[in-house]
A and B are shown apart, each in its own frame.
Chain A
Amino acid sequence: MNRTQACSLRRTTLSFVPLVLILLAAGPLTAQQGIGFESSFGYQSLSGEYGDVLKGGVDAEFAVVWTRTRFRYGIGIDWASYHAEAPFEGESWSNIVSYFGVTFFPWPETRLRPFIQLRAEGRRLRPEGDHLTDEEPPEEGENTSDIRVFGMAAGAVAGVEIGMTRRSWLRLAGYLGDINTDEAELGDIDLGTVDSGRVYGFRVGLFWIP
Chain B
Amino acid sequence: MSEHEMYVAVVDDDDSFSRAISRLLRAAGMDSVVFASAEAFLRDPTHPRASCIILDIHLGGMSGLDLCRLLSSEGHVAHVIMVTAHDEPEFCQEARQIGCAAYFRKPVPGKLLLEAVHNVVNAPNP
Q: Do A and B come from the same complex?
A: no
Interface residues, chain A, with chain B CB atoms under 8 Å away: none
User: Residues on B close to A: CB < 8 A?
Assistant: none
